[in-house]
Structure 1
Amino acid sequence: MRPFTLSLKPTLIAVALLGAAPALALEPINKEAHINNILLQGFIADKIADTCPAMEPRKLRALGELNKLRDYALKKGYSSAEVKNFVTSKTEKARGKKEAIAWLAKSGAKEGDAAAHCKIGRAEIAKSSLIGYLLRDKG
């Protein structure tokens, strides 16, 4: 019985190390695809609401989505400090806003073009996308 116990010990250690490997192999939070995709959609919705006078942001929905995203990041293995630093970083906010402007331009809404931003906002609401979910059409 003793040899079985000894041979089991290295196996348990290997399993424990393999289980820890994903936490050790986390990519930087600002490179994590799901997190960045969700944040980009929030930045796009914000830009639409800022540019289109007929649109306003749904702040409680946005807060709910941020909370879900925080929970996702924590479950993935990022620390609370990493998450907080990421979402409060001026550099990351600037990057997100720049990506949102690029996405909107690619979709036909140039900077300051209220009508195009309104059109995209309404299309996103009609598609029931996350961008649309974060907007309210007042018009």
Structure 2
Amino acid sequence: MRMMKTVILGLTLAGFAAGGAQAGLKEERDITAGLLAIAVADKIRRECDDISGRLWTARSYLMGLKRIARDRGYSDAEIDAFVNDSDNKAEMREMRNAYYKSKGASNLDHASLCVLGRAEIAAHTRAGSFLKAK
């Protein structure tokens, strides 16, 4: 459970927004795309009994994103501020839900998320790499 909380906390990295360096983090499209993939997979994993998460894979990937941000000059404090910003979290949820909609699923429809999850796994997408069929 602690690992999952770490992964979920990492999802909020996707919210790297609010002022100063945080606005810069939001513009790091590759980091944002990676965080979106984690957010997509996390919701699917929580909603689908026949799909589990590859938590170590997601955590390792997340730590890699954080390393990239540091290599680009962002401090741990700037990253943490971005992660903890509630507006950033809300924006990532909106992006995640838009992704679901673009794939014919809905964040409110359990069955459609499970279908999408199996498709993501089969297509070997980034989000699919964080999921495993049981």
TM-score, normalised on structure 1?
0.74
Query: What SS does structure 1 have at the residue aligned with 2:132?
Result: strand
The 3-state SS of whatever aligns with 1:109 is: coil
- 2:95 corresponds to 1:90: no
> How far apart in 1 are the matches of 2:76 and 2:44?
30
Task: Give the one of 108, 130, 134 matched to 2:104.
Answer: 108
Identity level (%): 34
Deviations 1:53-80 (A, max 9, x none): 2222222111101110011111111112
Cα RMSD between the aligned structures? 1.9
1:65 has 2:54 as partner = no
| Corresponding residue to 1:31 among 27, 31, 48 | 27
Tell me by how many angstroms 1:122 deviates. Answer: 1.1
Query: Structure 1 stretches (4+) deviating beyond 6 angstroms?
Result: none
Aligned to 1:79: 75
Specify every segment of 5 or more residues in structure 1 that has no aligned partner in the other structure, as ranges: 1-25
Partner of residue 132, structure 1: 128
CA distance in 1 between counterparts of 2:83 and 2:60 reads 14
* SS of alignment partner, residue 92 of structure 1: helix
* Residues 104-134 of structure 1 deviation map (CA, whole Å, 9 limit, x = unaligned): 0121112332222111111111122210111
Bigger Cα Rg: 1
Q: How far does residue 27 in structure 1 lie from its aligned partner after superposition?
A: 6.1
Which 5+ residue runs of structure 2 have no aligned equivalent? Answer: 1-21
Given the alignment, which residue of 118, 121, 128 partners 1:122? 118
Q: Which amino acid aligns with 1:80?
A: D
Contact 1:110 1:116 in 2 (8 A): yes
Task: Give the equivalent residue in structure 2 for 1:53.
Answer: 49
Q: Aligned equivalents of 1:132 and 1:114: distance in 2?
A: 17
C-alpha deviation, 1:34, in angstroms: 0.8
Secondary structure in structure 2 of the residue aligned to 1:130: coil
Task: Tell me the SS of whatever aligns to 1:129.
Answer: coil
Task: Count matched residues.
Answer: 114
Alpha-carbon shift at residue 87 of structure 1 (Å):
2.2
TM (norm. structure 2) is 0.76
Deviation at 1:90, TM superposition (A): 2.4
